[in-house]
Amino acid sequence: MNESNLNKLKKLYKSLRKLENIYCGDGWYNVVSELCEAAEEVAPRIEFVEVKEKFGHLVAVPKEGSYPPVLKQVIYDLLKSFAKLSTTVCEETGGMGKLRINDKKCLKTLCDSSAILLGYEKLH
Ligand SMILES: [Zn+2]
């Protein structure tokens, strides 16, 4: 994510303050923002140690002990639902995305035009 978006998000969300970077495209700015909004509402002291793209999904790893153990399942479900949501949003442009694959078998969630630009095809 570019520095200006990263800094904006870190200013908005305490849960991201310790991160050096968010390893995903800027198209997911809103997805990351909504995830933090929801997570901090449920668990105000939650802290993420890693936020990144993996296999076309948004993966956010909360610091152990930064939320009450009783919330473990709720947080898990929340993170899972945002991982799923991220596969509908283009990681590059924020447009309507789908999971795609390239000739190196890398997965990425992209809109039609970003997919053409980056050489990704529809996943069958
Ligand atoms: Zn796109």
**Dist. CA 95 → ligand 1 center (Å):** 5
Helix (H) / strand (E) element for 47: namely: none
**Dist. CA 8 → ligand 1 center (Å):** 21
Helix (H) / strand (E) element for 73: namely: helix 72-86
Q: What is the pTM of this model?
A: 0.96
pLDDT in tens, 54-111: 999 999 999 999 999 999 999 999 999 999 999 999 999 999 999 999 999 999 999 9
Q: Do residues 28 and 94 lie in contact, with contact meaning Cβ atoms separated by under 8 Å? A: yes
Domain boundaries, the chain: 3-88
**Dist. CA 96 → ligand 1 center (Å):** 7
**Dist. CA 115 → ligand 1 center (Å):** 7
Q: Do residues 26 and 1 lie in contact, with contact meaning Cβ atoms separated by under 8 Å? A: yes
